[in-house]
Chains A and B, each alone.
Chain A
Amino acid sequence: MESKIASLRKWIDRLHEEPLDIQDDTDLIQSGVVTSLQFVQMVIEIERLHGEKLDPGVINIESMRTLKAIDAAVFQAT
């Protein structure tokens, strides 16, 4: 079974017609990988993959900036 972060990577990939090279530390906004509205939509996908409501404190730019940060703040957080 693929990891949640791999599933999120696929979700981001599907936003684009051309394949993307998204590194764990790619800044999702600065790189243009997601638009401002998609950044907001991504929260819903993260919550769906996580399987429970996100703590509001975790929805901030630092926790959501890169796949690595999302994994640490949400999927790997205890």
Chain B
Amino acid sequence: MPAVATRESPANLLSQPYWYRHLPPTADVHQLDEGLFAVTGNAAVQEALAHPSIVAEHPLKASARAFGPNVLDADGPSHRAFRALLAPILSAGRITEYKQALMPGLIRGLVDGIAGVETDDFYNSFAHKVPYGIVCTILGIDASLEDRFHGLTRPLARLLDYPTRETDETHANVAELLRLIEEQRAAKTADERSLLETIERTRDRRGISLTDSEVRSTALLFFLAGTETSSAFITSLVYCMGRGIFSLDELRDEQVRDDYIEEVLRLYPPVQTIVRFAGEDLTVQGVAVPRHSAVLASIAGANRDPRVFDHPERFQTGRSLKGSIPFAVGAHACPGAMLAKTEFSLLIEEIIQRCSEVVVTRDRLGMESQSFSHPADFSVEFRTR
């Protein structure tokens, strides 16, 4: 077994935005404590996330305890059953429909709010508006409940973060959100193409044996993942637009825009740290990891691995992104990646229509969160044309 890689406590280490930088660069798999390992190199992270015996499910994990059985904390057949429920909602055809009918109005609404404005709290004041609008509609939640969902969901995100913050408030919020989802589901007011209705149909048609409680938990996790990761990433996107020394007009070209989004995703993946568990005694890159150990995979470290990316800290659009894994890899790779990228591309398009410049006017270089990571403590101004 390797020596413990750092004298810092795991909680202190994980509270730092780029914690992988505090570990010896000569290794990719680090023992942080008894039963606690960190995986930081690109190949090692990919190996860990795709390893058949490194699993997401652990009954004592905070999210499993809070949400009950759900898509994030399941493996094997039950995980595939949960994913099958989400698949119809995230198909290419549906995304095209969202792109044409749902997203433009929401994005125009957001850009109406930011054009000509300087804000020192883009994340809390603006970044959530488009993702919450999209996911509420997809889920089938009444639009009037959007703000209520936002207020309840944001503190809840800490349950999925590292270090985890588990309080009476987070538990109360889970209970209230599950109640609201059940209320909406029972009222059957949602469009028949909504997630709640689609889940019901898919479950019945495919004979997927999930309880109502599991369906509600999956809906809530879909909501949380779809809204909070996108809110975080939109903040990173705007931050990079504001920090870049280039003409926004360059982003009118769709290919340039896509490359730009991919590079922001490489440097600022919203999910920077993923926790998994060793289902049996195993090795990662030759390092022994005992059964039951928690394995922290650093997506941030993988995406800035100098063996994979030249000048990994440099923002460089158009570079080869082979090895960039902002949406993770393996069975638990984000199913909403295409939906998210469509949303981000349309948002940039609308911002550059209306704004001549996006300028970061104050920057304390803060970063917050491991699971919904985003730049913090900066001001940004959207100067109109």
Q: How far is the CA of A44 from the CA of B37 in the complex (A)?
A: 13
CB-CB < 8 A to B34: which residues of A?
A: 41, 44-45
CB-based A-B contact count at 8 angstroms: 55
Whether A40 pairs with B61 at a CB distance below 8 angstroms is yes
B284 interface residue per 8 A CB criterion: no
Residues 267-310 of chain B: 1 if any A CB is under 8 Å from the residue's CB, otherwise 0? 00000000101000000000000111110000000000000000
- Where chain B touches its partner, the secondary structure class is loop
* Residue in chain B with minimal CB distance to A41: B35
**Count of interface residues, chain B, beta-carbon cutoff 8 Å:** 23
Binding site secondary structure of chain A: helix
Interface membership of chain A positions 40-75, coded 1 if the CB is closer than 8 angstroms to chain B and 0 otherwise: 110111010000010000011100100000000000
Q: For residue B63, which residue of chain A has the nearest CB?
A: A36
Q: Please measure, in the bound complex, the distance between the C-alpha atom of A60 and the C-alpha atom of B59, giving whole angstroms.
A: 5
Q: Which residue of B lies closest to A54 (CB)?
A: B292
Tell which of A39, A40, A59, A64 has the most Cβ of chain B within 10 Å: A40
Q: Are A44 and B61 in contact (CB under 8 A)?
A: no
How long is the Cα–Cα vector from A19 to B24 in the complex, in angstroms? Answer: 32
Q: Which residues of A contact B62 (CB under 8 A)?
A: 36
Task: Please determine whether A41 and B33 come into contact, CB atoms closer than 8 angstroms.
Answer: yes
Is A35 positioned at the interface, with any CB of B under 8 Å from its CB?
yes
Which of the residues A40, A60, A61 comes within 8 Å of B277, measured between beta carbons?
A40
Given A36-B166, A37-B163, A37-B164; A44-B58 close (CB under 8 Å): no
Asked whether A40 lies within 8 Å of B11 as measured between CB atoms, the reply is no
- CB pair A44 B60 closer than 8 Å: no
CA distance A64 to B36 in the complex (A): 19
Given known contacts A39-B60, A61-B65, A44 and B35 CB-to-CB distance under 8 angstroms: yes
Known A36-B164, A37-B162, A37-B294; judge A59-B59 contact (CB<8 A): yes
Contacts of B11 in A (CB 8 A): 35, 37
Task: Kindly state whether residue A29 has any CB partner on chain B within 8 Å.
Answer: yes
B10: Cβ under 8 A from any A Cβ: yes
**In the docked arrangement, what's the CA distance between A12 and B259, Å?**
49
> How far apart sit A36 and B370, CA to CA, in the bound complex (Å)?
15
Interfacial residues of chain B within 161-175, with CB under 8 A of chain A in the complex: 162-164, 166
Report the Cα distance A72→B218, complex, angstroms. Answer: 33
Q: Nearest Cβ distance between residue B169 and chain A, in whole angstroms?
A: 13
Question: Is B292 in contact with A43, judged by CB distance below 8 angstroms?
Answer: yes
Question: Of B59, B166, B290, which one neighbours A44 at CB under 8 angstroms?
Answer: B290
- For residue B275, give the distance in angstroms from its CB to the closest CB of chain A: 8
Q: How far, in whole Å, are A44 and B277 apart by their CA atoms in the complex? A: 12
In the complex, how many angstroms separate the beta carbon of A76 from the nearest chain B beta carbon?
20
* Closest Cβ neighbor of A61 among chain B residues: B65
Inter-chain contact A35/B163, CB cutoff 8 Å: yes
A37 CB contact (under 8 Å) in B10, B59, B65, B291: B10
Residues of B within 8 A of A (CB): 10-11, 33-36, 58-62, 65, 162-164, 166, 275, 277, 290-294
18 contacts between A and B (CB under 8 A): A29-B65, A29-B166, A36-B61, A36-B164, A37-B10, A37-B36, A37-B162, A37-B163, A39-B60, A40-B277, A40-B294, A41-B33, A41-B293, A41-B294, A44-B35, A44-B290, A59-B59, A64-B60
